Amino acid sequence: MRYAKCIIIPDDEGLHPVDKRIADHPEVSRELLHNVNLLADETIVTIYQFAGDREALETILEDSPMVCKYQLSGVGDEIHAYIHVEAHERLVGLLSMLKEFEFIFDTPLEFTRRGGLRVTMIGDVQSFQEAIPDVPDGIRLKLLKTGKYEPNTDRLFSQLTERQQEILQTAVDMGYYNVPRAVTHEDIGNELGCTGGTVGGHLRKIESKILAQIIP
């Protein structure tokens, strides 16, 4: 079993009008896409993870005629959202193409800082190469790497946001988790151009998320 890791890069119109409206809002940040499913009637159900202003997100969803229904949950500025949206040619075309070539997403899918979607697709890599010409107009696939798929490989790390991954990787590289500890939050912040308090806050969220996954 093989995988292809790539970035889905939409043009300025985005993957779907609802997703585009959310992406353009300054007080809401798309973090992860935990699930996306094309239904028989070509409507689409998704489970997102957002950060930011819950009221702003609710306003977007309430005002959009393409939202069939939604439910929000979460604590603080972390928001989990079930969103059922109307069919849209571009996203339906992409999901139909992936279904035709029998790809399976390894979730969650991660939004990049530039608005792309980093995904790992499991299946036949040869089929992936054959599928590229069928990608809908306005969407580009950037292949990052391929390899043998091992379940759970990188799964915990992939659940972190891009910024959290950067901070954790820097902390490990600089020796924050060495015994004895080699650097402080402030040292890591100086390396990344942020405050020690910001680093500490991110590391606490990272540790909480990872420990919750591994402790029975």
pTM higher than 0.85 = no
Whether the predicted pLDDT of 216 surpasses 60: no
Q: How far apart are CA 163 and CA 125, in angstroms?
A: 29
Select the more confidently predicted residue: 18 or 114: 18
DSSP-derived letter for residue 42 is S
Say which residue, 72 or 3, is predicted with more confidence.
72
Rounded Cα gap, residues 110 and 29, in angstroms: 12
Q: Over the stretch 30-63, which tens digit does the pLDDT of each residue have?
A: 999 999 999 999 999 999 999 999 999 999 999 9
* pLDDT score for 23: 94
What span, in angstroms and rounded, lies between the C-alpha atoms of 137 and 33?
22
d(CA 66, CA 17) in angstroms, rounded, equals 8
φ, ψ (nearest 5 deg) of residue 214 = -105, -15
The pLDDT score that the predictor gives to residue 65 is 96
pLDDT of residue 211: 83
Burial of 100 (0-12, 13-18, 19+ CB in 10 A): exposed
Q: Which residue has the higher pLDDT, 98 or 23?
A: 23
Closest by CA position to 122, among listed 155, 82, 161: 155
**pLDDT, tens digit (0-9, with 9 covering 90-100), for 82-132:** 999 999 999 999 999 888 888 888 888 889 888 899 888 888 767 777 777
Q: How far apart are CA 186 and CA 4, in angstroms?
A: 37
175 to 5, 184, 185, 186, 188: CA distances (angstroms): 29, 9, 11, 13, 10
Evaluated on CA atoms 170, 174, 178, 180, the torsion sign reads negative
pLDDT given at position 1 = 74
The whole-number pLDDT of residue 204 equals 93
CATH class of 160-214: mainly alpha
Go through the chain and tell me how many residues it has: 216
